[in-house]
Structure 1
């Protein structure tokens, strides 16, 4: 999917004053920081610094008037300081085959919403508060914008549980679990598991002309069923069946013997115990009745 389909985060939302950012946050902005001579800091230390910086910034934010340049500057610093949190959440969705930058951009919208709603006085750490909002925004994006075929919300949520149960059972048994094992694990019917697996295939449509990788088989278009040559005769056969029931039983039998059993008039006369001339007359009369009853020719 093109990156342009993801919601766009305004550039000014993440343009913070470098003076307000901690050292580890500036490292996250500058990819060259990893190759600098300065030794890398432990992840725990960077995380603690980010949490401390976030707490300080929220302390400043609550005393500022919304809409002022200073408020926007501190808010932007909060967003950028917590971008690693968004990338951590987005990494959970790497298996969805979506551009990671699109997923991060969507998660950043959730981060902004969390920042606007967060109340430091409630005694909750900001990452704990923000993570459900970020993940929820990403899940909503996948549910509403990524799937080629939209599925009911309940089925989508159940599909997430089926995927998790499949991974757990695969790890426990060392093999792919059966449908019955997944259903037993989640306490649902096997039909629901099959429906979830089918729903999981609706993220991306496959081109009929795309070659199949790995199996050496031709594209899907080349493997579709051929056109049945008898398909054009379906309408005519239905019409004949409708007209035949209007004939007397003996005339129906004569037509069946002549055109379905491929008997000659002489063989039909021997079969019915009548003269060949009489068979010929009955056939002619049957054809006249059929033509008169055929509204297409009329």
Structure 2
């Protein structure tokens, strides 16, 4: 497919803390894929869960991206300002019989692998606070797609359970918000970590139910510690440092981790020069289909 005239990609971090090296891989991979195609690269802050988003974290992320030369197109989109769009989508699903209120607590169904759908035909405990769930048994299934790195994928979302769309406390769930935003922003390509691969079936169901186009997907390998632990904010991964030497080193390591084989002398080049080289030499087909790869060794 010729993406040069229509490619729109994005980086969509949750502002639960500053970016770390694993975040850089996701940001850089999506940036290079967009720029190499002559496309747009947008930034969305997925701040729909306020308890997880400390004050100032989003501004820190923006400053880190700018320090690394990863400049985005258009205004930054904040999910916390898009409640009306998510409510409209939920109402469409309710009208089509594909979403239902659920009064069950996780404690009640914890003995099951997935939520067993007890409230599909009516609330088990009327009067209690309710979440809204997608009826995976009635929505499109199974879901097929061709991942650009991991190949053909097939999931039956019903085996994953009826995903929550809106939580009992009134907060929007990731699955609904991301699908609405990607569609309304016209995203043609989604480049993100492989830890989100099994989210794609639910998102595929929602895309079909809401009449949205299906983007292309490229799921990147995860960066893990030498003990095999996912590099994440929850695991206290160190924040990306933004002084020039640290930026040059981290960018070079990230380009290398993305299997683009940069020349050794690129390590001493400016971030702008490193990105210029990486965009010009971006070959996603060089990515190895590994689920995980270790954090680079420190100098």
Instruction: Name the TM-score class by shorter chain.
Output: under 0.3
TM-score by length of 2: 0.23
Structure showing greater Rg = 1
Using structure 1 for the length normalisation, give the TM-score: 0.23
Structure with the largest fraction of strand: 2
Structure with the bigger RCO (C-alpha within 8 Å, sep 6+) is 2
More helix by share: 1
